[in-house]
Structure 1
Amino acid sequence: MKKYAYIGCLGFIAVITTEFGVIGILPQIAEHYNISIDKAGYLLSAFALIIALTGPFMTLLTSGFDRKKIMLVAIFMFLVTGFVSSFSPPFWLLMMVRILPAFLQPVYIASALAVAVSQAEEHKKNELMSIVFNGVAIAMVTTVPFATWISGLWSWEYSFMIQTAVSLIALIAIQFLLPSMPVQEKKSFGSQVSILSQPSFILSTLTNFFMITAWFSTYSYFADYLNKAKGMDTTMISYMLLVFGIIGIFANWIAGKMLNKNVPGTTAFFLSGTILVPILLYVSDGNMIATILVIGIWGFLYSPSFLNASTYMISAAPGSLEFANSLATSFGNLGVTLGTTIGGWIIITKGVVFTPWVGLVFGLLAFSMMILKGLYEKRNQSILPCKE
């Protein structure tokens, strides 16, 4: 049912608003607590690191619980985070309440995806998953910039109030619109963890990791790049973020349709942006119209990256949807961390104009993993008939 997918999407908006909503207010937080901007950045990096390290284990531990209850507990934790943070607590407490929901973020995503496809026909599942993942693009266009705008209008605490309100709406929707969904047959830990020994799944995981690293080596510094490399002011950059996000919503919808027909082909198509976009950004140089067109292409090819990564990994482990997706979330967050770290190092040592080329290198690595996976599967298919 599409209703379940839209409820999952609403919760995803709350999750992303909490995770990335802090980006726009880091300078204000640093000033308020009289700390450096890199220390304030721990609010983001610690969140991502907790997800990366604990996601699969938390998903395994909660795999036997009613999915509705899991989703409620997860969103409630995000609500608590926003509520406590809005009172500007001591920094150690702010950090603690930021970290707590990170333990349940992959659990929420895995549960929301499982609920969305629970009653769907096989050929409709990827489309329903794309609806859930659209929560990322929608949040980046609406609640995340709105929370930042509100903080500029009044103070940074109001940004967390917006996050609290979004979480409350999602909590109410899950409670009253989603039926109880107990797990009918709990899979053993061994049967789920066994996918880690499958070369096909390992190669799909590396594809995911390099893909997200490629995109975030530049996307993490989107505003800085457009300002210093393309000469855009803050107002123009905010317009570009809006264009980027709106196109992203459309791209997720298209990707969902394409994934239903061909998962590897769709993944490769959107991954090509990690190679195409750096070249186009270089060619566009200082031409404003050309740069805006490239940003549109960038937004279209980048936005379904998490959807593509998850679907590509799940397709290599169809019997372990939730665990495979939690691994996709974990390795995706590791990719965010690595991409942001290397991109920052390049900016300090070479300049922000070189960050897209880092993405190109990791994009080529992702493509090489896809090629290796294809060769491995082709070889296995040719061997199987010989055994019969």
Structure 2
Amino acid sequence: MGLKGRELMEKEKGINKQLLLLIMATGVFSILNTEMGFIGILPYIAENYQVTVVQAGWLISLFALGVAVAGPTMPLLMSRFNRKWVMVFILGLFTVCSTIAVFAENFYVLLAVRVLPAFFHPVYCAMAFTVAAGLAKTGEEPKMIAKINMGVAAGMVAGVPISNFLAEQFSLAFSMAFFALATWLVMLATLYFMPSMPVKEQLGYGEQLAVLKKPMVWASIAAVIFLNGSIFGVFNYLAEYLGVVSGIAPSLISILLLVYGLCNVGGSMLAGNLLTVRPLMVVKIFPLAVAVIYIALLGGGSIWPVMGLIVVLWGILGGINANINQYWIASAAPEAPDFANGLFLTAANMGCMLGTTVSGQFIDAWGTQYVVLGGLLFCLLAALTVWVQCYRQRSNPQLMVQTEQ
């Protein structure tokens, strides 16, 4: 083959790789859009179904619980099937359940169709992370993972503020129809443009489960639970906080939620480079940075200019957080990537569930302003867990495969 022929083949390969990343990032976006979009409409759900905001928060925490339960099992069980058709099925399920939610008149019906697709959420995301890492050059996996995590951040950009805006300007049902439309469009794109992806090298279930014998894997799971709890324990009540504590008009709340999501995208892009160069330093500093944000929020959350700056910085940290979580567990179990990504999603959603529950208790006890105390508690637990891991790694570098470069 001549030089031009080889260049053409490499160009086509590059285009296919970018197309594959785009479809998967968009798929993750549509699923996270459905998951996180409910954050922006919790006050409207509470009003429409005559439940408290904390009860409406079950739609977040129980979804997270469903992901947490399915994370270690579903990606493992479905790791042998053609990834394209698994993704098409999952996107179709999300579309059907979101469509039923539009017409649900009972809160518990809404809760049921909300939780069902959660069990397949980790399958799609785990596959996307694994495929993306496989497309990367050695040592640059965090950069590829960051592109998928940009889909997560984009889910917040489109999901939270747009769902809030649609509920405010039109209706709650109109807002939830947006979730169904997003997953349906990505399902069509996956069906027609994604190539078939049969699994060529199958790891046995026993081989993958063997990573659970490693103490560092369990320590990493705990760290991710606390890290994610520190972010989402407070963020899940952000719309309520902005309205009740900061006294911000509903139209401006939508804008601030959009700003937060855009900053998430920027944080995810930044994290891909940071975790490639100085991963341990980034992970050690992160809980302290979040704690500083919450202390500022506790003191200046009712001051509009201060709140705007806090949302920007908090959004950047939120984008970095998603990448840290995936990196931390994947580094502890690189020999079983699908299963490790499932564990990551379980730990992350357990953190979301626990953070939402604990912070909700602070709201019930003292009021919305003190939701940040739940976040600070999880920051402390995350810092202690991560620092102990880093200390043990310095004492015995073989505890983790991925070390700071």
TM (norm. structure 2) is: 0.87
1:345 alignment partner, one of 350, 361, 365: 361
Opposite residue 378 of structure 1, the aligned amino acid is R
CA distance in 2, matches of 1:238, 1:103: 29
Q: Is the 8 A contact 1:5 1:113 kept in 2?
A: no
| Shift in CA distance, 194/110, structure 1 to aligned 2, threshold 3 Å | same
Q: Is the 8 A contact 2:122 2:345 kept in 1?
A: yes
Equivalent residue number for residue 218 of structure 1: 234
Opposite residue 22 of structure 1, the aligned amino acid is F
Q: Is the 8 A contact 2:43 2:240 kept in 1?
A: no
CA distance in 2, matches of 1:279, 1:206: 24
Equivalent residue number for residue 403 of structure 2: none
| Shift in CA distance, 23/262, structure 1 to aligned 2, threshold 3 Å | same
Q: Is the 8 A contact 1:273 1:298 kept in 2?
A: no
| Shift in CA distance, 42/296, structure 1 to aligned 2, threshold 3 Å | closer
CA distance in 1, matches of 2:98, 2:230: 31
* CA positional deviation for 1:180: 1.1
Pairs within 5 Å for 1:52-63: 52-63=68-79
| Shift in CA distance, 370/45, structure 1 to aligned 2, threshold 3 Å | closer
| Shift in CA distance, 263/289, structure 1 to aligned 2, threshold 3 Å | same
* CA positional deviation for 1:265: 2.2
Equivalent residue number for residue 238 of structure 1: 254
Equivalent residue number for residue 34 of structure 2: 18
* CA positional deviation for 1:131: 1.1
Alignment RMSD (CA, Å) = 2.4
* CA positional deviation for 1:33: 4.8
Q: Is the 8 A contact 1:147 1:162 kept in 2?
A: yes
Opposite residue 372 of structure 1, the aligned amino acid is V
| Shift in CA distance, 28/371, structure 1 to aligned 2, threshold 3 Å | closer
| Deviation by residue 1:42-75 (Cα, 9 ceiling, x = unmatched) | 3333222111112211111111111111111111
Equivalent residue number for residue 308 of structure 1: 324
* CA positional deviation for 1:348: 2.1
| Shift in CA distance, 86/353, structure 1 to aligned 2, threshold 3 Å | closer
Opposite residue 157 of structure 1, the aligned amino acid is A
Equivalent residue number for residue 7 of structure 2: none
CA distance in 2, matches of 1:33, 1:210: 32
* CA positional deviation for 1:41: 4.0
Equivalent residue number for residue 212 of structure 2: 196
| Shift in CA distance, 381/246, structure 1 to aligned 2, threshold 3 Å | closer
Q: Is the 8 A contact 1:67 1:115 kept in 2?
A: no
| Deviation by residue 1:66-109 (Cα, 9 ceiling, x = unmatched) | 11111111111111112222333655543333222111100000
Equivalent residue number for residue 317 of structure 1: 333
Pairs within 5 Å for 1:5-44: 5-30=21-46, 32-33=48-49, 38-44=54-60
1:147 alignment partner, one of 163, 174, 179: 163
Opposite residue 261 of structure 1, the aligned amino acid is V
Q: Is the 8 A contact 1:212 1:335 kept in 2?
A: yes
Given the alignment of the two structures, is residue 280 of structure 1 paired with residue 280 of structure 2, yes or no?
no
Q: Is the 8 A contact 2:268 2:322 kept in 1?
A: no
Given the alignment of the two structures, is residue 71 of structure 1 paired with residue 87 of structure 2, yes or no?
yes
| Shift in CA distance, 346/58, structure 1 to aligned 2, threshold 3 Å | same
CA distance in 2, matches of 1:34, 1:288: 30
Opposite residue 354 of structure 2, the aligned amino acid is L
Q: Is the 8 A contact 2:67 2:118 kept in 1?
A: yes
| Shift in CA distance, 44/374, structure 1 to aligned 2, threshold 3 Å | closer
| Shift in CA distance, 42/185, structure 1 to aligned 2, threshold 3 Å | same
Q: Is the 8 A contact 1:127 1:260 kept in 2?
A: yes
- Residue segments in structure 2 that go unaligned for 5+ positions in a row: 1-16, 400-405
Equivalent residue number for residue 291 of structure 1: 307
1:177 alignment partner, one of 181, 190, 193: 193
Equivalent residue number for residue 262 of structure 1: 278
Equivalent residue number for residue 356 of structure 1: 372
| Deviation by residue 1:335-384 (Cα, 9 ceiling, x = unmatched) | 1111111111112223333332332232122122122212222333499x
| Shift in CA distance, 199/18, structure 1 to aligned 2, threshold 3 Å | same
* CA positional deviation for 1:238: 2.6
Given the alignment of the two structures, is residue 333 of structure 1 paired with residue 349 of structure 2, yes or no?
yes
CA distance in 2, matches of 1:284, 1:30: 27
Q: Is the 8 A contact 2:94 2:180 kept in 1?
A: yes
Equivalent residue number for residue 205 of structure 1: 221
Q: Is the 8 A contact 1:200 1:376 kept in 2?
A: no
Opposite residue 216 of structure 1, the aligned amino acid is F
Opposite residue 178 of structure 1, the aligned amino acid is M
TM (norm. structure 1) is: 0.90
* CA positional deviation for 1:313: 0.8
Question: Counterpart of 1:183 in 2: which secondary structure?
Answer: coil
Equivalent residue number for residue 386 of structure 1: none
- Residue segments in structure 1 that go unaligned for 5+ positions in a row: 384-388
Worse-matched range after superposition: 153-162 or 229-238: 229-238
Q: Is the 8 A contact 2:72 2:343 kept in 1?
A: yes
CA distance in 2, matches of 1:285, 1:41: 21
Opposite residue 351 of structure 1, the aligned amino acid is G
Opposite residue 77 of structure 2, the aligned amino acid is L
Equivalent residue number for residue 46 of structure 1: 62
CA distance in 2, matches of 1:370, 1:238: 34
Opposite residue 60 of structure 1, the aligned amino acid is L
Question: Counterpart of 2:72 in 1: which secondary structure?
Answer: helix
CA distance in 2, matches of 1:30, 1:288: 26
CA distance in 2, matches of 1:94, 1:284: 36
Worse-matched range after superposition: 315-324 or 264-273: 264-273
Q: Is the 8 A contact 1:82 1:163 kept in 2?
A: yes
Question: Counterpart of 1:272 in 2: which secondary structure?
Answer: helix
| Shift in CA distance, 45/128, structure 1 to aligned 2, threshold 3 Å | same
* CA positional deviation for 1:163: 1.3
CA distance in 1, matches of 2:398, 2:341: 29
